Structures are given as C-alpha cells and as structure tokens.
Amino acid sequence: MASEENKKQPQNNGHAPSEKKKEGKKTENTLRKNIKNPFVYVGTIVILVLTIIAFVLIPGVGGGSASVGQTPAFGTWNGIPIQFTPDSYFADQVSQINDYLRQQGINDTQTQLYAYQVWFMAFQNTVVRTAILDIVKRSGMRISEKTIDEEVTKNAQFQVDGKFSMDKYNAAPLSTRLSVRSKIRDNLLVQNYYGDLMSVSPSTAEIDFVASMAKPQRTIQYVNIPFTDYPQDKTIEWAKAHESLFRTIGLSKITITTSQKDAEKVLAQIKANSLSFEDAAKSHSKDTYADKGGDMGTLVYYDLKDQFQNDKDAESVMALKKGDISPIFKQTDNAWAFYKVNTETAAPDLSKPSVIDEVKTYIFDKEKSVLETWALSKADTFTADAAKASFAAAAKQVGLEAKTAGPFILNYGKPTFYFYGQQVGLFQEPYRSLDNALVGAEQNENFLITLFSSTKNAIAKPVVLDSSVVVLSVIDDKEATDQQISYTKFSYPYFFQTALETELRTTILSSKSLKNNFNATFAKFFTPSNTGSAQ
C-alpha cells in the first residue's frame, strides 16, 4: 500500500468552538428548550439543505428511469459529467431524500412535480460534491491507503459477527472492492474539505460586535397615522381633479391571436352582417370573454387603458357611441382586438359610496404618495404641538392615540440559522406586544435607524411604513440581560458556519464551471408515464 501521508481531518460535528464557557452551555440548554423534537445537528451543506426543504415533495429511486443502457448526464462540472447510475452518489441522494421525506410524513410520489423536485435537489447536491472533489484533488489533497484500509475494516459488508473478515473482503469481486475504496476516499476528501471550512471561525471581537446589537433595548411611545384615515373630503377632491380616470363604459371584445389579417376578416364579416358580434366572439375570440359573446361588462377607464399600447387608443374607444365597433388595435405581439360599445361613456357619480371606495383603492394602489404626503403633513402638525405640550396631549389634540411599544433591539432582517434541525433566531427577542401598525416595523431600515439614533424623550422625525406614518419618542433605554447577550455569543458561530455553507453552495451552483442541463435531461428521460412510485 502507498505510504503517502493522510491529511489530518479536522472535526466537523457542528458544535461551537471549544473555548465556549459555562454560560455557553447554559445558553445551549436554553436553545434546546426552545426547540421541539430536536435531532442530531449535522454540519454539512447537504443535510442542512435537506432540512431546509423538508416540505418539498420528492420521489423514490425507482421513480422514473432512463431507457435501458443509457446513462443520463444532467450537466457537467469542469467537464466532469453529473450522471445518474444505480450505484452513484446521485442515486444515493435520491434514495436518502425520499426516505427522509417519508419519515416526515410526505409521501406524494405519484406526481411529476414531486419527481422534479427530488431529482433537482439530488442533482444540486451532486454538483456541490463533484465540485468539492474537483477542487481538493486539483489542490493536491491526498488520503493515505492506510487510512482507507482502516475505514474498509469498518464497512459492514466485509464484517462477520461485528468484526472485519479478510476472507469476506477477498471474496468480494475486485470491482466491488475498488468501488468501496473509491467511495471511502471521496468521502474522506469531502470531510477534510468541510473540516477545513468549519475550522474558520469568527474572532472574539466579531462575536462581541454582533452581540452588542442585542444590548440596547428601546421602548417607545408613538402615534400612528394610517393611510386608511385619509379623509373623505380629500378623496372626493382628488377624484374631481382626476375624474377622467373613473369614467365607465360597457364593452364587448373580440381577441384574435393568429394575425391582424385574420382579425380584419372577422371584423369584415361582422360589418357585412354575415356574422353577429356575439357569435364571432364565441367562434373566433381567444380571451376570457369569448364564452359570453365577448361581453366584458362595465369597465372603468383606468383599467381599460391598460389593455392598449398607448392612451390615445383607449380614448378613441371611450369616444364611441352605443352600437359602434372600434378599429383593430394591436395589444401584444400576438394579439389583435376590437370592441363593441354596449353602454356609452359615463362620468363617475361621486355621490355613491361604492365609487368613493373605488377611488380610495386606486389611490392606495397607484398613488400612495398622495397618502404619504397627507400623513406626513399631519405628523408635522403633531410634532409641532408635542414640542409645546406633552406627547399624549398633542396626540389627543390632532385626534390620535398615544401608545407604547417595545422593547426593540437592533435585529434588522431577523437573521436565522439551523440548530438541531430547527430554524432559530440569531438574537433572543425580548417579549413585547405590538399594535398591528408596528408589525414588521422592526424590519424597516428607516424605522430602526430612527429608533436607535434618537435621543431619549426627543420627538423623532416621522417614519413612513408600508401603510402608515409613525412618530415616535424613546421613553426607556436599557441594556439586554446577560442571558440574552450570552445567547447571541453562543449562537453566532453557528450562524457564521451556516453562512459559510450557504455561500459555498451558492458559489458552486452559480459558477461558470457548471453546465446545467438538468431541465432538458429530466424532460427527455422522465415523463409522467415513466415516473413510477417510490421504491
């Protein structure tokens, strides 16, 4: 056997650095208490990703097979084919993923989507492993034959009564022995790579910096000005200034998707009275109104104009009289349409609540800046009043309610990682009850900047949220507990490793070295008729 030195294998057991203190152990217990049904945490990217996508439907090994004698290649990495053969890593992944999901109670193996998801994930896992092996082998990393011999003695297929049997090993075909040794070598190379990757850990200074984000905890008093409070009179005023948007018209439509010439033929038949508009729609039109003889019902102008490539065409339809039929308009690259007027254009009746509600919806969906401007103006009035009186008194004066919320920590984006198979937060959020207006505010960058840059008891600048404007004042500023700080210090190395693994996978799967032909190969070799049930 060769005498080359085996690269020392760093341990990759998914645990935090060895220097963690007693408080780290206490924090680990806290983490475990917050997690239901924990199972052994595995630090490799493959198992991590399987845990993340546990909900995805995946088929069994026997589900969908290529024609006999063919070995499908789903892509290449640096020219190395990513192939599916019965004894390949690819096949092992399909089998393992299927078994894992069965254990989770997912057993929808009869659908093509199920098959696609499992094979695609197995393909990605195989690409990652192939890339790592290519990288380590080109770097010169080696596994000694002695180390491989030691691992062979642990292989169950060569054991008798729990002990390695040389006779059983020698009796195995040479191809089997070589295959086992090759797999062991590749497994050890991958383990070494991940061992080196996991040996990279954040510095103490980095951990302390991240933990410091959980230290300041700020409680606020605030007022919320929701966009839904936009006054009725202002809604009517805006509607009058934009009345043309809310004009209505009753139309029928015929859509032809073959050519403009075909559309002209249908239109000519209608004008010659050889074919009614309704019958033409049912027999020739290719849209959702065809079954109703083309009847679109009553349309509002702002919806109608979206069907045209320019507003002038929409205006020309709005100008037609009852019974008129429009010219043909090109609407997309493969659609030509013409319209018949059933009810002439009518101005909006702004005395009807339903019309005002429609105007409000339009403003909220397409003119939100109008609402923001109004709410910010009201916020400025409140801020000026609050500078002269108490926060609560100023709120009451402008018809608002002063509320409290918090404590908040600097937890932008709510980063998470996987611990014992469950997704947990990097920071231990303090308990707080939130008004609906502030749900999600802790993920708003402007809100957090304003909150943590404000002086205590000062009135901060208004913050625009998704559907309201908030004015706040910090009323309490305290430090996090030692337990909360130690939680983050303990958690960050796990988060750091997860980030490394995710970055590795993303880098490999987006690399130019990968030639991805998965979709075409899957479509060629796997059809609904060939995709069988799990084995």
pLDDT the model gives residue 39? 31
Question: In this predicted model, what pLDDT tens digit does every residue of 210-262 receive, in sequence order?
Answer: 999 888 999 999 999 999 999 999 999 999 999 999 999 999 999 999 999 99
Taking CB atoms within 8 Å and a gap of at least 24, the contacts of 263-267 are 263/328, 263/336, 263/337, 263/338, 264/328, 267/325, 267/328, 267/338
248-346: CATH, from 3.40.50.720, 3.10.50.40, 1.20.1560.10, 3.40.50.1000: 3.10.50.40
pLDDT for residue 328 is more than 60? yes
Report the 10 Å Cβ neighbour count for 41: 17
Residue 335 half-sphere exposure toward CB, CA atoms < 13 A: 13
> What rounded mean pLDDT belongs to the chain?
84
pLDDT band per the 50, 70, 90 thresholds, residue 421 = confident
Locus of tokens 């086992």: 180
Q: Is the pLDDT of residue 100 over 90?
A: no
- Specify the pLDDT at position 105: 74
417: which strand partners?
Answer: 424
> How would CATH label the architecture of 216-229+356-479?
Roll (3.10)
Q: At what angle do helices 22-33 and 482-509 cross, to 10 degrees?
A: 70
Q: What is the pLDDT of residue 523?
A: 85
Q: Calculate mean pLDDT across residues 185-190.
A: 92
In angstroms, rounded to a whole number, what is the distance separating the alpha carbons of residues 475 and 406?
A: 10
Query: For the chain, what are the domain ranges?
Result: 22-205+497-525, 216-229+356-479, 248-346
Kindly report, residue by residue over 194-209, the tens digit of the pLDDT. 888 888 889 999 999 9
Question: Phi-psi category of 399—alpha, beta or left, where left has phi over 0 and alpha has psi -120 to 50?
Answer: left
CATH code of the domain made up of 22-205+497-525: 1.10.4030
Please tell me the distance from the alpha carbon of residue 103 to that of residue 248, in angstroms, as a whole number.
Answer: 57
Rounded distance between C-alpha atoms, residue 398 and residue 87, angstroms:
74
**Each residue of 62-96: pLDDT tens digit?**
333 444 345 778 999 999 999 998 888 999 999 99
Distance of alpha carbon 232 from alpha carbon 302, whole angstroms: 21
Q: Which of 109, 48, 37 lies closest to 502 in space, CA to CA?
A: 48
Q: 248-346: same fold as 22-205+497-525?
A: no
Global model pTM greater than 0.85: no
